[in-house]
Amino acid sequence: MKTSASLIIAALFSATAAQGTTYDTWKSQVFTVGEAANPLVTADLADPDKDGFNNLLEYAMNGDPKMANAALLPVGGRAAAGGALTLQYKRRREALDLDYVVEVSSDLVTWSGGFANVWTTDVVPSDSITVSGVSQVVADAVTATSQTAVGNGDRGQCATG
């Protein structure tokens, strides 16, 4: 029986007490007062640069909602060792209100997540800014690898949402 293994990434909101930024603070820094008054530009699901990433995803993946960037799209693949499915994506480091959850499914109906049971994750600093002459990392490139190897007859599919 063939199974289809799939990966999904979702940015979920959850408040924390750490130092950093929030989605609302980010929006106030990115959009002008005039833009903020226009929900076609600043609504959570708006895509002002028309690159296919709404404002919530631009925030989660350290994108710029005013500059199109197709490179933000998570990339699925296979690990060299064992052929397990991988998902590479960018994660905003200083976000206080995001949790990144990677899930796997063999039928695209039932999904399972949890790094302890399903995933190993490699994290590499990817984006930085300079503040007062000091470089600060603001985003990481993350590679999540399924702990279940996919056979050669299986169809590996990746999805984001």
Residue-level pLDDT at 4: 38
Residue 155, Cβ neighbours under 10 Å: how many?
Answer: 10
Residue 157 has pLDDT above 60, yes or no: no
**Residue of higher predicted confidence among 106 and 125:** 125
Residue 2 has pLDDT above 50, yes or no: no
Q: How far apart are CA 6 and CA 148, in angstroms?
A: 11
Q: How far apart are CA 80 and CA 14, in angstroms?
A: 34
pTM value > 0.85: no
Residue 12 has pLDDT above 60, yes or no: no
| b/e burial code for range 44-64 (CB count within 10 A of at least 16 → b) | eebbbbebebbbbbbbbbbbe
- pLDDT 10s digits, 18-44: 368 999 999 999 999 999 999 999 999
Residue 70 has pLDDT above 80, yes or no: yes
**Residue of higher predicted confidence among 91 and 81:** 91
Residue 155's beta-bridge partner residues? Answer: 4
Instruction: Give the model's confidence band at 125: pLDDT under 50 very low, under 70 low, under 90 confident, else very high.
Output: confident
Residue 92 has pLDDT above 80, yes or no: yes
* Domain boundaries along the sequence of the chain: 4-152
Residue 13 has pLDDT above 70, yes or no: no
Residue 115 has pLDDT above 70, yes or no: no
Q: What mean pLDDT, rounded, does the chain reach?
A: 78
Name 142's Cβ contacts closer than 8 Å, sequence gap at least 6: 88, 89, 90, 91, 100, 121, 122, 123
Instruction: Determine which of 32-36, 107-111, 129-133 has the lowest per-residue pLDDT on average.
Output: 129-133
Mean pLDDT of 63-84: 87
Q: What are phi and psi of 82, to 5 degrees?
A: 90, -15
